[in-house]
Structure 1
Amino acid sequence: MQYRRLGRSGLKVSVLSFGSWVSFGPQLAGQSARDSLAAAYDGGVNFFDNAEVYAGGKSETIMGEAIKQLGWARHTYVISTKFFWGIEDSVNTRNTLNRKYLLHAIDGSLRRLGLEFVDLIFCHRPDPETPVEETVWAMHDIIESGRALYWGTSEWSAADIRRAWAVAERDHLHRPLMEQPEYNLFNRTKVEEEFLPLYSEIGLGLTTWSPLASGLLSGKYLDGIPEGSRATLPGYGWLREQLTDADANRRVRSLKAVADDLGVSLAQLSIAWCAANPHVSTVITGASRVEQMRENLGALDALAKLTPEVLARVDAIFG
């Protein structure tokens, strides 16, 4: 496993990490969740991503219970959670980043995870109705209280991140350290263009998600939607049009030829391609079974095969 610094911080995270979105709750719980976490940890993964809203809070509970049963020493892993959508019905706990919600939400997440603190907290989406000063101060106060160590954003624009950074800089507060954007071969603009100045200006770190574009880049949808896949889960019907898009699958077929030449799977090549970007601190992977987690870890071998010539072939396919 490779380990990279998270932005300009001294914290090191595994270049491949494990996230619980979709899988924990709908597909993984109990022994299956423990086995998948153990496979990741044994493979050198030290960062585990979660969010308050995942499975309505159940994802945090499942992960927390599994880690407790596995008996990992707290200093050996990095764990995150994210806030915005909320899981309780109240005017001040839904779709907000106000101070009342944030200071309440962190306590709920810690209770479900069974932890005294989390390493990373994210503002899961921007909130145009709450002054950015209020949000920055609330995140700062959570860190000052010892309930979290670093904070950042997810799916914010570069302009919004700059505004939050400027407030923190002006008021001598803890600054937003990292951003969690979607990044894959079909979704490149934000990471490669919009955020480009932020890497040198403020030392922004990235914990990117969806390296397989919701499974499209795994090749499993080349012949339609298989039973038991993500697109068949309740509430994920919106994915079907994307996963069956003819042009997208034409590109995936072309990418498969590159993967075959390298002797790796489509998934391994697609994950490795994300990790090849030096601005990416960690690539969050997902898995619904142990075998899938182990295959994802094979992306480390694929990463070593991504020569400039191979990357040029990939770029020729995706532009």
Structure 2
Amino acid sequence: MEQRRLGASGFMVPALSLGTGTFGGGNEFFKAWGSTDGDGARNLVDICLESGLNMFDTADVYSRGLAEQVLGKAIAGRRDKVIVSTKATFRMADGPNDVGSSRFHLRASVEGSLKRLGTDYIDLFQLHAFDAMTPIEETLHTLDELVREGKIRYLGVSNFSGWHLMKSLALSEKHSLQRYVAHQAYYSLVGRDYEWELMPLALDQGVSAVVWSPLGWGRLTGKIRRGSGLPAQSRLHSTADMGPPVDDEHLFKVVDALAEVGEEAGKSVPQVALNWLLQRPTVANVIVGARDETQLRENLGAVGWNLTPAQVRKLDDASAVTLPYPYWHQRGFGERNPAPV
């Protein structure tokens, strides 16, 4: 498994990590993703470690802590062999302080995650979303304290806009605090918004992308094709309106190109989609999910080879969309404001 540097840090992470949203299935939303139990999780972790994938991503809100518990038991006795990333910010209980990135909630969240995971440190801790109700300085000072206490090793964010991230980085520098080195962001061939502002920012500031939902909220599995309906087992039946919208014709255009490239390369549609992401600027890690061993092994087949430049161009062209302002205007002056490469 290829190892990549995480942002402007000395920390190396594998090109792929396993997401644990499928662990536990503690409510209807997460049951649509999967309900992997303890035995199933241990089996998936075993397969990952055999392949060199040793990074596992979770969050406190995944099945209200159950996913962290299942992961913690699956890695028990081999904590030194794995990288664990988790997230907090979203509401975990009904109290007024059970949400957000305040000192109160972040400290409670980290302690809760440590207990559920059965560990005394978190390798990568990420804010799951921006909290506009809490001063950024309060959040940054709290995270800096947690790093210095040894409870967290590296910091990241998720789902931030460009100004959220840049202001946070500027304040970290101003106050000499630990800075974010990763941004867990939605990015796929049917969702390239990350490239407009977040990717140039990441290149400039040394913040790596850790990609979530790289198959476009389950649309790029190869099972959804022009002229066919949703497969019977698709989670899109119950979660389509909760994820990023994609126009059907645009989706089919991208899937057609993926299928064509896959035939040329002798790879499946999801393997091609994942490999395309792994060649994009700033991408350090792509989070893959798996309901079972078969899905996991297919996703693992996305590494160890590369698409040709011509195949990348074909996918780029098929997935291109008209950018919103001011990005379409900026792209018209590439001599002074080039697209990220």
Same fold at TM > 0.5: yes
In the alignment, what sits opposite 1:105?
109
Return the offset for 1:306. Answer: 1.0
Q: Which amino acid is the alignment partner of residue 259 of structure 1?
A: G
Q: Which moved more, 1:30-39 or 1:102-111?
A: 30-39
Q: 2:146 aligns with which of 119, 129, 142?
A: 142
Q: Kindly indicate whether residue 321 of structure 2 is the aligned counterpart of residue 314 of structure 1.
A: no
Query: What is the match of residue 296 of structure 1?
Result: 299
1:183 deviates by 0.8
Task: State the Cα deviation string for residues 41-82 of structure 1 (Å, max 9, x = none).
Answer: 2111121100010111100001001111xx32x332110110
Q: How far apart are residue 241 of structure 1 and its match?
A: 9.6
State the match for 1:121 in structure 2.
125
CA positional deviation for 1:200: 4.1
Q: Does 1:193 align with 2:179?
A: no
Distance 1:98 1:274, change over 3 A: same
**TM-score using structure 2 length:** 0.86
Aligned residues: 310
1:79 is aligned with what amino acid? V
Unmatched runs of 5 consecutive residues or more in structure 2: 26-30, 321-341
1:250, 1:4 → 2: CA distance? 31
Question: Which range is displaced more, 203-212 or 247-256?
Answer: 247-256
Shift in alpha-carbon separation, 1:298–1:54, aligned structure 2, 3 A: same
Q: Could you tell me which of 219, 232, 249 is aligned with 1:227?
A: 232
Within the candidate set 264, 269, 273, 1:266 is matched to 269
Q: Distance in 2 between matches of 1:243 and 1:138?
A: 38
- Counterpart secondary structure, 2:56: strand
User: Does the residue aligned with 1:137 lie in a helix, a strand or coil?
Assistant: helix
Contact 1:251 1:317 in 2 (8 A): yes
Query: Unpaired segments of 5 or more residues in structure 1?
Result: none
Give the direction of change, closer, same or farther, for the CA distance of 1:23–1:247 in structure 2 (3 Å limit).
farther
Measure, in 1, the Cα distance between the counterparts of 2:290 and 2:37. Answer: 12
The residue aligned with 1:32 is 40
- For residues 200-254 of structure 1, the C-alpha deviation after alignment (integer angstroms, 9 at most, x for no partner) is 4321111111110121111222322223332245xx2525995793441343133
> Is the partner of 1:177 in helix, strand or coil?
strand
SS in 1 for 2:126: strand
4+ residue runs of structure 1 moved beyond 3 angstroms? 239-244
Displacement after TM superposition at 1:185 (Å): 0.5
Are 1:54 and 2:54 counterparts? no
1:290 deviates by 0.7
Task: Quote the residue 1:66 is aligned against.
Answer: 74
- Cα distance 1:55–1:131, how it changes in 2: closer, same or farther (>3 A)? same
Decide whether aligned partners of structure 1 residues 78 and 46 sit closer, same or farther in structure 2, where only a CA change above 3 A counts.
same
Q: Distance in 1 between matches of 2:288 and 2:104?
A: 32
Letter matched to residue 12 of structure 2:
K
